[in-house]
Structure 1
């Protein structure tokens, strides 16, 4: 009987570039400015990036564009969001008993990069796109303070980028 072996190392290859963006812009405004500067048309995706953590469940907004000519996927993903929890206070019988408090916790898509506001994930590039040129173009957007490429080997929570 023949033995078949699967090499899972082939599936670990990273075929995307990740650009971190620091800005105070709302996601839809950033997508609008990126669409003006780059030859892409990012649109709001119904499939938001969902993350489950111990505090609860949250969804990060996502803008998506697929370039069918070059077979390249573009994703603009929010990095910061909040999880809201209801906490009921029932300690004593007084004026403030039975008060429900809502507590928010800040959650990050990639906790290693807490200062980044958004990520631009470009998939299936295979050297067809000049990432440094894209960074230069993004830096020309007035409301963006910093743009840099993320070393994908530094990311501990790579599973959050699978969508």
Structure 2
């Protein structure tokens, strides 16, 4: 009888590229400009990225394009989201029994808080030139900067599994 062993390192391989994008654009406008410059067609995904946080659960918007011809999957994901939590205060003063709504910012990748969006490119056959994509993204006037992120340095890379 043959014994098959699986190495846990086989499942920890990173098979995607991650480009950080700094912009003040809304997600749908950014997707539109990226579609104009790159030969892709990002569309709003019904499956948003869900992340569990201390106060419950939040979701980040996601635009998706699957290039089956080249075996490439493109994801444009928002990095910042606001979560509104309602706290009920019961104190003996003029405003007793009042409900206070507090907004807290939540990040998909907390170690990269200044990034507005990520362009995740899953490529199974290494046909993508990331430096060329960065150059094209930086030609969009509304994008402040776009650069590649070293995926080895990300601590919360499990948030990118969806």
Question: TM-score scaled to structure 1, two decimals?
Answer: 0.96
Q: How does 1:44-59 map to 2 (within 5 A)?
A: 44-59=44-59
Partner in structure 2 of residue 83 of structure 1: 83
Moved segments of 4+, more than 3 Å: 1-4
**Structure 1 residue runs without a partner (length 5+):** none
Do the aligned residues in 2 keep the contact of 1:83 with 1:106 (CA within 8 Å)? yes
Query: Counterpart of 1:16?
Result: 16
Can you give the 5+ residue segments of structure 2 that lack an aligned partner in the other structure? none
Over the aligned positions, Cα root-mean-square deviation in angstroms equals: 1.1
User: What are the within-5 Å matches in structure 2 for residues 1-163 of structure 1?
Assistant: 3-92=3-92, 94-163=93-162
C-alpha displacement of 1:65: 0.1
In structure 2, how many angstroms separate the alpha carbons of the residues matched to 1:95 and 1:3? 73
Deviates more, 1:26-35 or 1:3-12: 3-12
What TM-score does the superposition give when structure 2 sets the normalisation length?
Answer: 0.96
**1:125 positional shift:** 4.8
Do the aligned residues in 2 keep the contact of 1:81 with 1:106 (CA within 8 Å)? yes
